[in-house]
Chain A
Amino acid sequence: MSATNTPPAGGNTNRVGLTRADYDGAKTTLCPGCGHNAITGGIIQAAYEAGLEPHRVAKLSGIGCSSKTPAYFLGHSHGFNAVHGRMPSVATGVSVANRQLLLIGVSGDGDTASIGLGQFCHLVRRNVPAVYIVENNGVYGLTKGQFSATADVGSTAKGGKANTLMPIDLCALAIELGCGFVARSFSGDQKQLRPLLKAAFAHRGTAVIDVISPCVTFADHEGSTKSYAAVKEHDSPLHDIEYVPYFEDIHVDYEPGTTREVRMPDGSHIVLKKLASDYDPTNAEHAFAMLREARKDLKLLTGLLYVDPATTGFDEELRLVDEPLATLPLERVRPSRAAFEEVMRAHAEGSIGAPSGGG
């Protein structure tokens, strides 16, 4: 093992002996002030606090500003910057090949809600174990400011033109498709984002976090519903969130009846502290109703929208062996000579496979 893996003596290290700097990546090349950079910071901090082992993480993305960001965090994890809108299929392949990896996927609203909508839906539907972060700013940044499919009706482009088409709500869609962890957050609210990320790391299936992330260059003007000012004004958190990992014996006293707790399969807890009203994140119908109402009232509902920690991940669905398929030795994957000879015998004497029709 190389020297870089040796944790430094003393200093601020986490449970696996790494410093926060060990979770850094390359320097960002995005615009100064871009919401995505804040999310990158959130991922670094959350990974550090959760004590993720970088070699057990695979970072994935599609194409777009957001999809560049995996280069900017967890520099000691393997990364895969795929083609536009197709990160979900790559993630599925990686996950099936090595179920021991924690997959962190970063996508954007163009990458997910337009070109990649089909793959997004099928990833969620299969419940592939992966944290799927959408850095959602309602515009195509890299191609200079066209509307994306998550732009709100009435939101204007930099030139003043208003969007008239219905936005796609990726969270509502994910809940509809059976996703067991659906959250929405804001790049400017690290207090909310970090525990959501850490909880998502502990989820066994697909965890979707739609993070509203203002584009300072093309959507931060008056008239844009995803500007910093607009998001701050309309942000309506459902609850305050704390995440208590299984390895921390922290006990916080809350007034009875003021919190809800969600227990994750690894023994960690999500603690949701009630705000204005009591929100039950295990009730999908309630989530839909709230999202519909929020859209009507031009509110941005943030927090843990829906959670079902008991979902069956795709790896379990496939009944995969514990070890990564990728590195199974030959003797585990090449059947015996006896088995082979049995097949040959059947074809020398036995039935012929019948061709079928189709088109």
Chain B
Amino acid sequence: MNPVQHDPKINDLNIHVATVNGSGSQTANSVLLRAIFQMGIPVSGKNLFPSNIAGLPTWFTIRVSEAGYVARRVGNDVLVVMNPETAVADVAEMGPGSLIVANETIALGDVPADRIVVKVPMAKLMEPITTDVKLRRLVVNMIYVGVAGQVLGIEEAEIERALQAQLGRKPKALALNMAAVRTGWEFAAANVTTRPAFQVQRRNLTAGKILIDGNAAAGLGAVFAGVTVVSWYPITPSSSLIEATIGYLERFRRDADGRATFGVVQAEDEIAAIGMVLGAGWAGARAMTATSGPGISLMAEFAGYGYYTEIPGVIWDVQRVGPSTGLPTRTAQSDLSFVYGISHGDTAFPVLLPASVKECFEFAGVAFDMAERLQSPLFVLSDLDIGMNNWMSEPFDYPEKAWDRGKVLDDEALAKVAKFERYRDTDGDGIPYRTLPGTKDWKGTYFTRGSGHDEAARYTESPEVYARNMDRLRRKMDTARTLLPQPVLRESEGAEVGIIAYGSSDFAVLEALDQLAAQGVKASYLRVRSLPLSPEVHAFVRRHPRVYVVEQNRDGQLAERVRLETPERAAHIHSVLHYTGLPIDAQSVTHGLLAQERAPVTEGAGR
């Protein structure tokens, strides 16, 4: 991302569609998004939806950004009004010069004269298109696609191509939808006299790029990393991760005779889901589950069992707003502290923090390698924003590397050793060797228990043995600090401000860095990609006089962890927080940081 100079009126706008959940607007919005993407212009789409199947208000926002910014941007330029319930409030949010496209039957309240209002007689326009009332209700959304397309300069041919991609297999539906687009288009051409100042114009900035949501990316990554056992309990926003996984498994992982090289179990609850993962991991399978807040809470006991007995397993937490049921369809980064030490007793878990759809794909594989290498349940913290929204990305790379199955002794390896002890740290990295059930050599047999055990996995309550084992487990986590994905660093030489962020805050921070630079604030940026923290994080904190940790939770959970690990710098570690349930935006980061830097925003240069 670079702060290229460009005409703000071209390819820099937000299109906000206010509609009703379950009304079929998803296709229309996707078509708009993809048509702009196909015109070579960077886009991102965010679906703001209620915890509801049909009837409640929902909004979809498309950000068009020639500069390539894909984080949420506050403030809309185009509003499409399809929901009478929220219309007045939605319209009141719109600023001077904005474009409002509304179904003419909807009351908009008082609209100042400097807003461009296009009232579209949608019911009347739909009449000649189809007589089927149900179809009319669904297809009517394509009218606003046509109107918006015509007014904003979105090419009709690209709209048609995008529609084809969505409905290609249903020629009748395609024709019907295209007719509605055309009708909207013609209506706009004939009736919209005042034109907005902003436009969409063809560029060549998206060639070769893909659009995908993080959950599908994670599912794809898991399948190409060789996942064999999947267990899950449906919960928003993680369900689509597993559904995508199942889709790819069904497509690619059945033998010619229809037999499966995978097993998927829809569990009775999340306790069972993680129990199955641990059982499968113990038996040697690459096993995973995906869940969100309430499910994560239920997994606490088993996670501690996995930590203490050292069983690999991958748990995706697609975070949503808590506590409790919270806001199930809104995004957050508020599970970090809980997940890191999720169980009773002294525990700590490897945690991966993907920041993009590409990292969702890549970390899906890294997660298995690291869980097996470290012999531990491993958590991947995604969130609703990455997981369920569509993001533009470079295409992913086919995994070239072989997998890392960790320290497993099979019969051949056992034959070469005099003795096998399950929990003996023979390599000094805290990671012992394991064997799998089914191993023929009796030397490899051991008994797994959550109660106190010695190096040979025998039951013991010996105080010395207990402490020794716990120390080794800590050593293992220290090994993890440099083994797991290391931070991504964007160092600005001589910068006094250091920003730390992770996960879906990344795109907002990258945009904020440009905003800060424009204000004369030089800042370095370190993106944390895993827990336990890498020594690089400690060094970054030590060489920056003022550190701001940007995250999407109330209590500054990562900041707290950073302070704990660099206590001498604790007073210089600040938080910039965003926890409304909406995805974080760059302005919030910039303002939050500048407010603490105490430099008047208008005067530029930070202190």
CB within 8 Å of B: which residues of A? 1-2, 4-5, 54-56, 58, 60, 70-71, 75-83, 86, 88-98, 100-101, 118-119, 121-122, 126, 315, 318-322, 324-328, 330, 332-335, 337, 339-341, 343-344, 347-359
Q: Which of B286, B329, B448 interacts with A358 by CB under 8 Å?
A: B329
Within 8 Å of chain A (Cβ to Cβ): is B21?
Answer: yes
With an 8 Å Cβ cutoff, the count of chain B residues facing the other chain is: 107
Residues of A within 8 A of B223 (CB): 335
Write the nearest CB–CB distance from A329 to chain B, whole angstroms: 9
Give residues 1-51 of B contacting A (CB, 8 Å).
21-22, 26-27, 30, 33-34, 47, 49-51
Contact call B329/A119, Cβ cutoff below 8 A: no
Write the nearest CB–CB distance from B169 to chain A, whole angstroms: 10
Contact call A359/B260, Cβ cutoff below 8 A: no
Report Cα–Cα, A330/B223, bound state, in Å. Answer: 11
Contact call A80/B260, Cβ cutoff below 8 A: no
Write the nearest CB–CB distance from B245 to chain A, whole angstroms: 13
Report Cα–Cα, A351/B267, bound state, in Å. Answer: 30
Contact call B395/A118, Cβ cutoff below 8 A: no
16 examples of A-B residue contacts, CB within 8 angstroms: A2-B415, A2-B442, A54-B442, A78-B439, A79-B446, A81-B451, A92-B231, A98-B438, A122-B268, A326-B283, A326-B436, A335-B223, A339-B251, A348-B209, A352-B211, A359-B51
Known: A75-B445, A325-B285. A82 touches B253 (CB 8 A): no
Residues of A within 8 A of B291 (CB): none
- Give the residue among A2, A96, A332, A334 with the most B Cβ atoms within 10 A: A96
Of all chain A residues, the one with the shortest Cβ separation from B27 is A354
Contact call A324/B53, Cβ cutoff below 8 A: no
Contact call B51/A81, Cβ cutoff below 8 A: no
Within 8 Å of chain A (Cβ to Cβ): is B396?
Answer: yes
Within 8 Å of chain A (Cβ to Cβ): is B166?
Answer: yes
Known: A93-B279, A349-B165. A326 touches B226 (CB 8 A): no
Contact call A97/B447, Cβ cutoff below 8 A: no
Residues of B within 8 A of A92 (CB): 231, 265, 272, 275-276, 279
Contact call A325/B398, Cβ cutoff below 8 A: no
Contact call A97/B208, Cβ cutoff below 8 A: no
Give residues 164-178 of B contacting A (CB, 8 Å).
165-166, 168
Contact call A98/B283, Cβ cutoff below 8 A: yes
Within 8 Å of chain A (Cβ to Cβ): is B325?
Answer: yes
Contact call A58/B268, Cβ cutoff below 8 A: no
Of all chain A residues, the one with the shortest Cβ separation from B275 is A89
Q: Which of A82, A320, A355 interacts with B26 by CB under 8 Å?
A: A355
Of all chain A residues, the one with the shortest Cβ separation from B402 is A330
Known: A332-B261, A357-B22. A327 touches B436 (CB 8 A): yes
Report Cα–Cα, A321/B253, bound state, in Å. Answer: 11
Residues of B within 8 A of A81 (CB): 447-451
Chain B window 247-264, contacts with chain A (Cβ cutoff 8 Å), 1 for yes, 0 for no: 010011101001111111
Within 8 Å of chain A (Cβ to Cβ): is B466?
Answer: no
Of all chain A residues, the one with the shortest Cβ separation from B309 is A80
Report Cα–Cα, A84/B442, bound state, in Å. Answer: 28
Report Cα–Cα, A358/B302, bound state, in Å. Answer: 27
Contact call A89/B438, Cβ cutoff below 8 A: no
Q: A89-B273, A359-B325 are in contact. List 14 more A-B contacts (CB 8 A).
A: A4-B442, A78-B435, A78-B438, A81-B449, A82-B278, A83-B305, A89-B279, A96-B263, A320-B260, A326-B280, A333-B261, A341-B398, A357-B49, A358-B234
Contact call A333/B275, Cβ cutoff below 8 A: no
Within 8 Å of chain A (Cβ to Cβ): is B228?
Answer: yes
Within 8 Å of chain A (Cβ to Cβ): is B331?
Answer: no
Within 8 Å of chain A (Cβ to Cβ): is B284?
Answer: yes
Within 8 Å of chain A (Cβ to Cβ): is B244?
Answer: yes
Report Cα–Cα, A328/B405, bound state, in Å. Answer: 12
Q: Which of A79, A86, A358 interacts with B272 by CB under 8 Å?
A: A86
Q: Which of A86, A332, A344 interacts with B210 by CB under 8 Å?
A: A344
Q: Which of A93, A97, A126, A352 interacts with B275 by CB under 8 Å?
A: A93
Report Cα–Cα, A312/B252, bound state, in Å. Answer: 25
Contact call A357/B329, Cβ cutoff below 8 A: yes
Residues of A within 8 A of B455 (CB): none
Report Cα–Cα, A281/B395, bound state, in Å. Answer: 60
Contact call B231/A93, Cβ cutoff below 8 A: yes
Known: A325-B228, A357-B49. A76 touches B442 (CB 8 A): yes
Contact call B51/A358, Cβ cutoff below 8 A: yes
Within 8 Å of chain A (Cβ to Cβ): is B77?
Answer: no
Known: A78-B445, A321-B260. A96 touches B229 (CB 8 A): yes
Q: Which of A58, A332, A347 interacts with B283 by CB under 8 Å?
A: A58
Residues of B within 8 A of A93 (CB): 229, 231, 275-283, 285, 287
Report Cα–Cα, A77/B283, bound state, in Å. Answer: 13
CB within 8 Å of A: which residues of B? 21-22, 26-27, 30, 33-34, 47, 49-54, 58, 165-166, 168, 208-213, 216, 220, 223-229, 231, 234, 236, 239-240, 244, 248, 251-253, 255, 258-265, 267-269, 271-287, 301-302, 305, 325, 328-329, 388-390, 395-396, 398-399, 402-403, 411, 414-415, 435-443, 445-451, 459
Residues of B within 8 A of A332 (CB): 261
Contact call A2/B220, Cβ cutoff below 8 A: no
Report Cα–Cα, A119/B449, bound state, in Å. Answer: 19
Write the nearest CB–CB distance from B196 to chain A, whole angstroms: 26
Residues of B within 8 A of A353 (CB): 212-213, 216, 240, 244, 390
Q: Which of A2, A327, A355 interacts with B240 by CB under 8 Å?
A: A355
Residues of A within 8 A of B280 (CB): 93-94, 96-97, 325-326
Report Cα–Cα, A239/B277, bound state, in Å. Answer: 41
Contact call B448/A80, Cβ cutoff below 8 A: yes
Report Cα–Cα, A358/B294, bound state, in Å. Answer: 14
Known: A89-B275, A348-B210, A357-B22. A79 touches B447 (CB 8 A): yes
Contact call A327/B210, Cβ cutoff below 8 A: no
Report Cα–Cα, A328/B260, bound state, in Å. Answer: 12
- Give the residue among A75, A76, A352 with the most B Cβ atoms within 10 A: A352
Residues of B within 8 A of A320 (CB): 259-260, 263
Report Cα–Cα, A159/B423, bound state, in Å. Answer: 44
Write the nearest CB–CB distance from A195 to chain B, whole angstroms: 26
Residues of A within 8 A of B220 (CB): 343
Of all chain A residues, the one with the shortest Cβ separation from B277 is A93
Write the nearest CB–CB distance from A272 to chain B, whole angstroms: 33
Known: A335-B223, A359-B236. A2 touches B284 (CB 8 A): no
Report Cα–Cα, A66/B592, bound state, in Å. Answer: 58
Report Cα–Cα, A328/B227, bound state, in Å. Answer: 10
Known: A97-B284, A344-B396. A58 touches B275 (CB 8 A): no
